[in-house]
Every structure is written in C-alpha cells, then in structure tokens.
Amino acid sequence: MSIANAERIQLVDPRQAHATPPFKDQSPIEMPGKTSQMQPQPDHGEQSYEGSGKLKGLSALVTGSDSGIGRAVALAYAREGANVAINFLSENEDAERTAELVRDAGVKAAVLPGDLRDESFCQQLIDKTVDELGTIDLLVNNAGYQQTRDDIDDWSTETFDRIFKTNVYATFWLCRAALNRMPAGGSIINTASIQGYNPSPSLLPYSATKSALLGMTKGLAKLAIEHGVRVNAVAPGPVWTPLIPGTMPEENIENFGANTLFQRPAQPVELAPLYVWLASPAASYVTAEVFGCTGGKTPV
C-alpha cells in the first residue's frame, strides 16, 4: 500500500485527549503514594504506546519507575526493546505492576528497591543494574521528592535536606557511577521541571533542586561527552502522578493543570516519547539540552 492510500491517522483535540479538572474526592495519599488510589487513574501508555525497536537490546535504569513519569518511561523503553531496571523507594505494589508491564513486552525487568539518599546505595544500584542486565546503556534520573509549605519558617532543615538529597545528590552520585560503566553512545536523561524556571514559593526547596538539575545537566554534558555519552533533560509542567495528591493540599489538586493552555495536566504517557527519542541513536547530535513539556506554560 502506498503512503498516499494508507489509512488516515486519527487526530484528537489535545485539550480533550486526557482527563480534565476538576479532580475531586482524592483519597488521602501518603508519599510515595499509590497509583491505585488516584481518580482518575494516570495513563502510562498501557493501552496506547506502541514501540518500533528504537532501543532494541539496550539496558536502562529508570529511578522512581514504580509510578508516574518513571513508569511511563519504563513501559515505553520496554516496548522499544530495552531491558529495564526499576528503582523505587518502598511502593512494592506499584513497582511490581511496572515490572509486569516491562516483562509483558518480552524484555528483562530487574526490580531494585532502595533509598537514593544513600551514596553507597547509588553506587550499588549501578553495579546491580549491570549485574542483572549485563550493561547500563541508559540512565534516567527521574526519582524526586517535594513538599509544600506556605512560609519559609515552615521549612525544616531536615525536609530541605531530604529534597536535595533525593533530587540533586542522588542524580550526581548515579551519574558519577554510571559514567564508569556506560559505553560510548550511552545516554543520561534527567527529569527537571518548569519549577526550575518559574518557581512556586510553596515549592521552594523543590524548585531550587530543579534549577540545580538544569545546571548539572549542561555542565555534566561537557564532561560526559569525553566518554561518548550524551546528557539531556526533560522539564515537565503539571503531570498527573501520585506525587500530586501525595504532597499538595486538596484545594490545589482539584484544578491541577487548569492554568495550562490545554486546561489540563499532562498524563505520564505524553512525556515518554521525549525520553525515548533522547535515549535513541536518532538524537545522536543532541546533548546539554533541556526539552520542555509544560502545556505551553513557559519556554524552556
């Protein structure tokens, strides 16, 4: 069949492509949160993402891949042919679901729980990924932690430290360890945020960590290319994940994402193709870049 006679792809109005606010009656969710408690359920691409071998035979470590963006990336990588190491803190139910989705794609899944705030564990995580999957070609630093407060006096040093250890220190430790094991042609992708450019005062420490990741991505890219490794980042806007009802007050959840041009938040599946492209050989001339997926909220 010629392209001219092929069946037309079905276009969808992006404003109506996924669930729109208001989001009401969310069950109380304690971090790290459970996907099953969210209404509506996030879309990770379970029914829609179709791979085409873009990452065939490669091996990836995706942190925070029990749910949200991390699960969507793990699923997409698997359907593109990559083996996936799944790292998470403590939400075993969600992590096992991610592992099931990965294995259903016909590739290997390594389930590697642990706390990224521990420097020695970060080194062990890279080593375990290589032990389980044979190599580490792709590293996605996606795990993150946030809390909201109304006043600077409400932020404890302990909480500030936890956010920085999870979001910044862990990224540094994992990148340092991975570069010693990653072959030329490998790729590191960090999850930044619109908060790195347009910080909300209620997310002060989180915003500061995302600004730090922007600098780390660009600086590390100059070092990593000496190993033949590319380093980039994706900067999401509002995304419907357990992090939202797990850390935000109820009044912020009901209209979450309504202030974007689409008047809704992104679903995790909508970000996954960016991570796939950045990991693939198709992006061989792309490094030290940050790609926004913010619903039109700001140029990044």
Domain ranges for the chain, please list them: 55-293
Average pLDDT over the chain reads 94
What distance lies between CA 87 and its chain's CA centroid? Answer: 12
Per-residue pLDDT, 90: 85
Q: Report pLDDT for 251.
A: 81
The least confident of 32-46, 133-147, 269-283 is 32-46
- Residue with more model confidence, 287 or 297: 287
pLDDT band for position 1 (cuts 50, 70, 90):
very low
Residue at token pair 């995302």: 210
User: Which of the four pLDDT bands, split at 50, 70 and 90, describes residue 299?
Assistant: low
Mean pLDDT of 206-214: 98
Average pLDDT rounded to a whole number, residues 20-24: 90
Asked whether 117 and 162 are in contact (CB, 8 A), the reply is yes
- When pLDDT is cut at 50, 70 and 90, the band that residue 7 belongs to is confident
Mean pLDDT, residues 201-209: 97
* pTM of this structure: 0.95
CATH for 55-293 is 3.40.50.720
Give the mean pLDDT of 4-17: 87
What pLDDT does residue 248 have? 83
Residue 46, pLDDT above cutoff 80: yes
Please give the Cα distance from 177 to 122 (Å, whole number).
8
* Contact partners, residue 51, CB within 8 Å, separation at least 6: 76, 78, 79, 80, 81, 105
DSSP sequence for 231-278: EEEEEE-SB-STHHHHHS-HHHHTTTTTTSTTSSPBPGGGTHHHHHHH
Count CA within 13 A, CB hemisphere, residue 289: 15
pLDDT at residue 6 in the model: 72
What average pLDDT does this structure show over 150-175? 97
| Res 288 pLDDT > 60 | yes
What does the alpha-carbon distance between residue 234 and residue 240 come to, in Å, rounded to a whole number?
16
Q: Is the pLDDT of residue 291 over 70?
A: yes
Indicate the residue type of 273.
Answer: P
Please list the active-site residues.
206
Confidence (pLDDT) at 55: 98
Cβ–Cβ under 8 Å, residues 44 and 72: yes
Does residue 142 register a pLDDT over 50?
Answer: yes
Residue 111 has pLDDT above 70, yes or no: yes
Return the minimum-mean-pLDDT range out of 79-88, 112-121, 210-219, 291-300: 291-300
